[in-house]
Amino acid sequence: MEQPTSANHHPRIAVIAAFNEDRFIGSVVLKTRRYVDHVIVVDDGSQDQTATVAAEAGAIVLRHDHNQGKAQAVNTGLRKAREMNAALVILIDADGQHDPAEIPALIAPIEAGAADMVVGSRFLGVRNRIPRWRILGQHALTLVTNMASGVTITDSQSGFRALSQRAINAMTFRPEGGFSLESEMQFLAQQHHLTIREVPVSVTYAERPKRNPLGHGLQVLNGIVVLVSQHRPLVFFGVPGILILLAGILLGVVVVQRYNAYQTLAVGTALISLLLSLIGIQTLFTGIILHSIRALLTPGDRE
């Protein structure tokens, strides 16, 4: 049933990144249309009928002529949503794993003005049947993302989300980010001081995974390392810098103690101590300098 929308010049828009999803995209678009004003499907160079089926189901279809990855596809979809003056955007997967009937619950905190980003969490309240090894991987990525971004949620990798106008304007992802875009949202939320809420959602894992989950996880992990180096250089360089410097100082203490006890200078150890101290200081200063440059370039951001 079509939900009444407050003002059509500020529509609710769903953005769906899709790659070779012609088996599911039709029903996902039709079900999603019940809850939003427009559905944008970004067909990311699919070789199947994704674009045709999505258009027939009533979506606005944008096409990449070659595969550019999920992050860039969502960038394309959000750009269009901004042009259309979206009041809010729902992100939902194209493969039918999410239930569009849960969209009203997902957008409620945004419509109440209580959140900028609502994450549909697979690990809150609803008991989902998720293969155990996938839960492990998802929790590992969430732990790393939470620690790295400084923002804590229960499901960092969920693709089912809602964004307020503020969040839509803040969200532009690294084009090469691929599947690390969900993690990147947490870094951007931290940078732009966005309020995050989580809502329990259901998810189905009826199909076999489409690609090697280990490779997928490592790709996300690699994306998180890049994000930390770019968003939080002080943590990325400062922490190892201090640790290396401490190791250098400790070795230095050992050298001095030996000298006091035996009146002989352990030249090798002394050189290693000096080298570690210099590398530590260099790394620490790299972090401080990058942090300052970043602060100058992004005045709104306070780490």
Ligand X SMILES: Nc1nc2c(ncn2[C@@H]2O[C@H](COP(=O)(O)OP(=O)(O)OP(=O)(O)O)[C@@H](O)[C@H]2O)c(=O)[nH]1
Q: How many residues contact Mg ion, by CB under 5 A?
A: 2
Instruction: Based on the shown chain and the rule CB under 6 A, indicate whether residue 95 belongs to the binding site for ligand X.
Output: yes
Residue 43 pairs in a beta bridge with 18, 63
Q: Residue 175: how many CB atoms within 10 A of its CB?
A: 11
In the complex with ligand X, the residue whose CB is nearer, 28 or 87, is 28
Q: Residue 93: how many CB atoms within 10 A of its CB?
A: 18
Compute φ and ψ for 286, nearest 5 degrees: -55, -45
Q: How far apart are CA 157 and CA 175, in angstroms?
A: 18
Ranked by CB distance to Mg ion, the top (closest) residue is 95
Instruction: Based on the shown chain and the rule CB under 5 A, indicate whether residue 97 belongs to the binding site for Mg ion.
Output: yes
Instruction: Based on the shown chain and the rule CB under 6 A, indicate whether residue 223 belongs to the binding site for ligand X.
Output: no
Instruction: Based on the shown chain and the rule CB under 6 A, indicate whether residue 17 belongs to the binding site for ligand X.
Output: yes
Site string for Mg ion, 186-205 (x = CB under 5 A): --------------------
Could you tell me which stretch among 88-96, 142-150, 167-175, 240-248 binds Mg ion (CB under 5 A)? Answer: 88-96
- Interaction with ligand X in 25-54: which residues (CB under 6 A)? 42, 44
Site string for ligand X, 251-290 (x = CB under 6 A): ----------------------------------------
Q: In terms of Cα–Cα distance, which of 282, 251, 286, 285 is closest to 269? A: 251
Full 3-state SS string of 170-214: HCCCCHHHHHHHHHHHHHHHHHCCCCEEEEECCCCCCCCCCCCHH
HSE, side-chain direction, 13 A CA sphere, residue 269: 15
User: Residues interacting with Mg ion, by CB under 5 A?
Assistant: 95, 97
User: Residues interacting with ligand X, by CB under 6 A?
Assistant: 17-19, 21, 42, 44, 67, 69-70, 73, 93-95, 97, 159, 209-210
